[in-house]
Chains A and B, each alone.
Chain A
Amino acid sequence: MPNEGSKNRRSILVQMETPNLIPERDLGQIPVLQAEHLGIDFGGLTAVDDFNIAMGPTEISGIIGPNGAGKTTIFNLLTNVYKPTRGTVLIDGYDTAGKSMVQVNKMGIARTFQNIRLFGQMTVEENVLVGLGNSMSTHLLHDMLRLPRHWRQEAEFHDQAMDLLGIFDMQGLAKTKAGNLPYGAQRRLEILRALGTHPKVLLLDEPAAGMNPNETEELMENIQKIRDEFQIAILLIEHDMNLVMGVCEVVGVLDYGKIIAKGTPDEIQNDPRVIEAYLGKQGVN
Chain B
Amino acid sequence: MVKETRDPKPYISLGAGGRRGRRPLPMPVRYAINAALVLAFLVVGELLIDGGSISRYQTSVLEQIGIYVIMAVSLNIATGYLGQLPLGHAGFMSVGGYSCAILIMRLQPVFGIALRDFAAPTPAALALFVCGLLFGGAMAALCGLVIGIPALRLKGDYLAIITLGFAEIIRVVMLNVDGLLGVDLTGGAKGLTGIPAYTSFLNTFVVVAISLFLIHTMMKSRHGRAILAIRDNEIAAEATGVNTTYYKTLAFVVSAFFAGIAGGLYAGCIGVMAPAKFGFMKSVEVLVMVVLGGMGSMLGSVLSATVLTILPEALRAFADYRTLAYAVVLIVVMIFRPQGLMGTYDFSLTSWVDRFRNGDLPWKKQKGGEVRADA
Task: Answer whether A and B touch in the complex at a CB cut-off of 8 Å.
Answer: yes
Residues of A within 8 A of B (CB): 79, 81, 100-102, 105-106, 110-111, 113, 116-122, 126-127, 129-131, 133-134, 136, 138, 140, 143-146, 150-151, 153-154, 157, 168-176, 179-186, 193-194, 196-197, 210, 212-215, 217-218
Nearest chain B residue, comparing its CB with the CB of A121: B232
Q: Which of B11, B223, B231, B373 contacts A180 (CB 8 A)?
A: B373
A-chain residues with CB within 8 Å of residue B4 when the two chains form the complex: 182-184, 210, 212
When the two chains form their complex, are residues B238 and A121 in contact, meaning their CB atoms are under 8 A apart? no
Nearest chain A residue, comparing its CB with the CB of B13: A169
Would you list which residues of chain B between 220 and 274 have a CB under 8 Å from chain A? 221-226, 228-229, 231-233, 235-244, 250
When the two chains form their complex, are residues A143 and B240 in contact, meaning their CB atoms are under 8 A apart? no
Among the stretches B14-22, B158-166, B185-193, the one at the interface with A is: B14-22
When the two chains form their complex, are residues B241 and A197 in contact, meaning their CB atoms are under 8 A apart? yes
B-chain residues with CB within 8 Å of residue A113 when the two chains form the complex: 235-236, 239
When the two chains form their complex, are residues A105 and B13 in contact, meaning their CB atoms are under 8 A apart? no
A-chain residues with CB within 8 Å of residue B232 when the two chains form the complex: 118-122
When the two chains form their complex, are residues B242 and A102 in contact, meaning their CB atoms are under 8 A apart? yes
Q: Given the interface contacts A81-B235, A183-B2, does A138 sit within 8 Å of B228 by beta carbon?
A: no
Q: Which of B10, B217, B225 contacts A146 (CB 8 A)?
A: B217
Q: Which of B10, B217, B221 contacts A215 (CB 8 A)?
A: B10
In the complex, 8 of the A-B residue pairs with CB atoms within 8 angstroms, ordered by the A residue number, are A102-B244, A130-B242, A134-B242, A143-B223, A170-B13, A173-B12, A180-B2, A196-B240
Q: Which of B10, B13, B214, B225 contacts A126 (CB 8 A)?
A: B225
Shortest Cβ distance from residue A115 to the other chain B in the assembled complex, whole angstroms:
10
Q: Which of A102, A138, A185 contacts B243 (CB 8 A)?
A: A102
When the two chains form their complex, are residues A121 and B218 in contact, meaning their CB atoms are under 8 A apart? no
When the two chains form their complex, are residues B217 and A145 in contact, meaning their CB atoms are under 8 A apart? yes
A-chain residues with CB within 8 Å of residue B371 when the two chains form the complex: 172-173, 176
B-chain residues with CB within 8 Å of residue A196 when the two chains form the complex: 240
B interface residues, how many (CB within 8 angstroms): 47
When the two chains form their complex, are residues A118 and B11 in contact, meaning their CB atoms are under 8 A apart? no
When the two chains form their complex, are residues A176 and B1 in contact, meaning their CB atoms are under 8 A apart? no
Q: Does B332 contact A (CB under 8 A)?
A: no
B-chain residues with CB within 8 Å of residue A122 when the two chains form the complex: 225, 228-229, 232
Q: Given the interface contacts A143-B217, A173-B373, A176-B374, does A130 sit within 8 Å of B239 by beta carbon?
A: no
CA A196 to CA B240, docked complex, whole Å: 8
Nearest chain A residue, comparing its CB with the CB of B243: A102
A-chain residues with CB within 8 Å of residue B244 when the two chains form the complex: 102
B-chain residues with CB within 8 Å of residue A170 when the two chains form the complex: 11-13
When the two chains form their complex, are residues A120 and B233 in contact, meaning their CB atoms are under 8 A apart? yes
Q: Which of B15, B225, B239 contacts A110 (CB 8 A)?
A: B239
When the two chains form their complex, are residues A119 and B218 in contact, meaning their CB atoms are under 8 A apart? no
Contacts beyond the supplied A145-B214, A150-B221: 4 A-B pairs with Cβ under 8 Å = A102-B238, A117-B235, A130-B226, A196-B240
CA A72 to CA B15, docked complex, whole Å: 36
B-chain residues with CB within 8 Å of residue A119 when the two chains form the complex: 228-229, 232-233, 236-237
Q: Which of B214, B233, B239, B296 contacts A101 (CB 8 A)?
A: B239
Shortest Cβ distance from residue A165 to the other chain B in the assembled complex, whole angstroms:
10
Name B's interface SS: helix
A-chain residues with CB within 8 Å of residue B11 when the two chains form the complex: 168-170, 185, 218
B-chain residues with CB within 8 Å of residue A105 when the two chains form the complex: 238-241
A-chain residues with CB within 8 Å of residue B19 when the two chains form the complex: 175
B-chain residues with CB within 8 Å of residue A153 when the two chains form the complex: 222
A-chain residues with CB within 8 Å of residue B108 when the two chains form the complex: none
CA A176 to CA B12, docked complex, whole Å: 12
Shortest Cβ distance from residue A49 to the other chain B in the assembled complex, whole angstroms:
24
When the two chains form their complex, are residues A172 and B1 in contact, meaning their CB atoms are under 8 A apart? no
Would you list which residues of chain B between 284 and 337 have a CB under 8 Å from chain A? 296
B-chain residues with CB within 8 Å of residue A180 when the two chains form the complex: 2, 373-374
Q: Which 6 residue pairs spanning A and B have beta carbons closest together?
A: A172-B17, A143-B221, A117-B236, A119-B232, A133-B222, A172-B14
Q: Does B367 contact A (CB under 8 A)?
A: no
When the two chains form their complex, are residues B221 and A214 in contact, meaning their CB atoms are under 8 A apart? no
B-chain residues with CB within 8 Å of residue A116 when the two chains form the complex: 1
B-chain residues with CB within 8 Å of residue A79 when the two chains form the complex: 239
Shortest Cβ distance from residue A122 to the other chain B in the assembled complex, whole angstroms:
6
A-chain residues with CB within 8 Å of residue B3 when the two chains form the complex: 182-183, 210
Q: Does B29 contact A (CB under 8 A)?
A: no
Nearest chain B residue, comparing its CB with the CB of A116: B1
A-chain residues with CB within 8 Å of residue B239 when the two chains form the complex: 79, 81, 101, 105, 110-111, 113, 117, 194
Q: Does B350 contact A (CB under 8 A)?
A: no
When the two chains form their complex, are residues B2 and A175 in contact, meaning their CB atoms are under 8 A apart? no
A-chain residues with CB within 8 Å of residue B229 when the two chains form the complex: 119, 122, 127, 130
CA A182 to CA B6, docked complex, whole Å: 10
CA A116 to CA B239, docked complex, whole Å: 13
CA A105 to CA B237, docked complex, whole Å: 11
Q: Does B8 contact A (CB under 8 A)?
A: yes
CA A215 to CA B296, docked complex, whole Å: 35
Q: Given the interface contacts A146-B217, A173-B373, does A101 sit within 8 Å of B226 by beta carbon?
A: no
When the two chains form their complex, are residues B8 and A215 in contact, meaning their CB atoms are under 8 A apart? yes
When the two chains form their complex, are residues A121 and B296 in contact, meaning their CB atoms are under 8 A apart? yes
Nearest chain B residue, comparing its CB with the CB of A129: B225
Nearest chain B residue, comparing its CB with the CB of A213: B8
B-chain residues with CB within 8 Å of residue A171 when the two chains form the complex: 13, 15-17
CA A130 to CA B237, docked complex, whole Å: 8
A-chain residues with CB within 8 Å of residue B374 when the two chains form the complex: 176, 180
A-chain residues with CB within 8 Å of residue B13 when the two chains form the complex: 169-172
Shortest Cβ distance from residue B342 to the other chain A in the assembled complex, whole angstroms:
14
When the two chains form their complex, are residues B12 and A172 in contact, meaning their CB atoms are under 8 A apart? yes
CA A140 to CA B249, docked complex, whole Å: 13
B-chain residues with CB within 8 Å of residue A168 when the two chains form the complex: 11
